[in-house]
Amino acid sequence: MGKVILEVKDGIGYLTINRPDKLNALNNEVLSELNTIIDDINKNSEIRVVIVTGSGEKAFVAGADIAFMKDLTPKEAVDFARLGQEIFFKMEQSEKPFIACVNGYALGGGFELALACDFIYATENAKLGFPETGLAIIPGFGGTQNLSRLVGKNIAKELIFTAKMITASEAKELRIVSQVFKTKDEMIKFAEDVAKQIMKNGPIAVGLAKRAIADGFDLTKEDGLKYEASLFGVAFSTNDAKEGLTAFLEKRKPEYKNS
Ligand code: CAA
């Protein structure tokens, strides 16, 4: 069994980090498998939405692998960080939505994996945080950048400087997590319902909207608006937009063909 598993069913890609004996910690092997699987997901037109989770009940991902990192040289550490960042950035740039289902610990690189997804659900027992400064290192897979963009610099600094873990409900209060569930099964079922709702919509439009939000976020307001207008134009070049607008006027359900 691989360290990262991808199953596809009814348009949903179920991506599971599968190294439960080490709480799904990310070493080079896991990252390399994840890299290949993200490429496969991007190429696979059957997959419309991806649900990301960790194997077992205890952890989503408890971080980058500390045993693996212990003897890295500074150069190797940079390469390891860049590899993780590139993979997570590829998820952010993907036209498919990624939903993180955080079951248990999402720490360090695991929290960063969740932050690379488009939104995060969590179980009541989830614990999220950046323990890195406690290990005398810093987050390296995008955490300083993504958390500060999500919750603002002050909260990001507080969480990263203290290295404290927060509960799922605290994470919801900070708007890191959108919904909290009693059990993993309940969470996955809810994520599947959300995925089905997304899949009713124009697939190219969902991808363009993701791009407009992700890439537009760091632009000035003026450039962001120009970018949005240009992607609005791209949507009008698709057959699906013609179908969606016509179906509304003809009072029928649209049939999208992803073209
Ligand atoms: N790296 C390597 N191994 C890990 C790991 C990690 N991040 N997290 C857990 N494990 C391993 C443990 O070493 C243990 O292995 P053995 O059974 O072989 O000893 C196994 O997983 C089970 O873990 P514990 O026995 O520690 O379980 P616990 O219930 O007592 O504690 C925990 C759970 C609080 C999550 C604890 O495991 C922990 O603190 N883990 C480390 C969390 C961490 O610091 N993550 C950040 C890493 S740095 C990073 O991610 C950098 C970056 O941004 C790129």
What is the residue-wise DSSP string for 92-106? HHSSS-EEEEE-SEE
Q: Distance (Å, rounded) from C-alpha 254 to C-alpha 200?
A: 9
**Ligand 1 contact via 140 beta carbon (within 6 Å):** yes
What is residue 253's predicted lDDT score, i.e. its pLDDT? 96
pLDDT in tens, 90-125: 999 999 999 999 999 999 999 999 999 999 999 999
pLDDT in tens, 203-227: 999 999 999 999 999 999 999 999 9
What is residue 232's predicted lDDT score, i.e. its pLDDT? 98
**Ligand 1 contact via 132 beta carbon (within 6 Å):** yes
Name the β-bridge partners of 5. 16
Full set of structural domains in the chain with CATH: 4-199 (3.90.226.10), 203-249 (1.10.12)
The structure tokens listed for 105 are 């610990």
Q: Distance (Å, rounded) from C-alpha 238 to C-alpha 205?
A: 9
Note whether 163 and 139 are within 8 A (CB). no
Note whether 244 and 257 are within 8 A (CB). no
The number of beta carbons lying within 10 Å of the beta carbon of residue 28 is 15
CA of 153 to the centre of ligand 1 (A): 27
Residue nearest (by alpha carbon) to ligand 1 atom 1? 65
CA of 103 to the centre of ligand 1 (A): 15
Q: Which residues of the chain have pLDDT under 70?
A: none
Task: For residue 164, give the 3-state DSSP assignment.
Answer: coil
Q: Which of 17, 19, 23 to mutate to test the pocket of ligand 1 (most atoms within 8 A of CB)?
A: 23
Looking from the CA of residue 67, the nearest atom of ligand 1 is: 2
Q: Distance (Å, rounded) from C-alpha 55 to C-alpha 60?
A: 7
Q: Distance (Å, rounded) from C-alpha 188 to C-alpha 100?
A: 10
Which helix (H) or strand (E) segment holds residue 217: the answer is none
CA of 190 to the centre of ligand 1 (A): 28
**Ligand 1 contact via 65 beta carbon (within 6 Å):** yes
Sheet holding 165-167, edge to edge: 59-61, 105-107, 127-129, 165-167
Note whether 64 and 26 are within 8 A (CB). yes
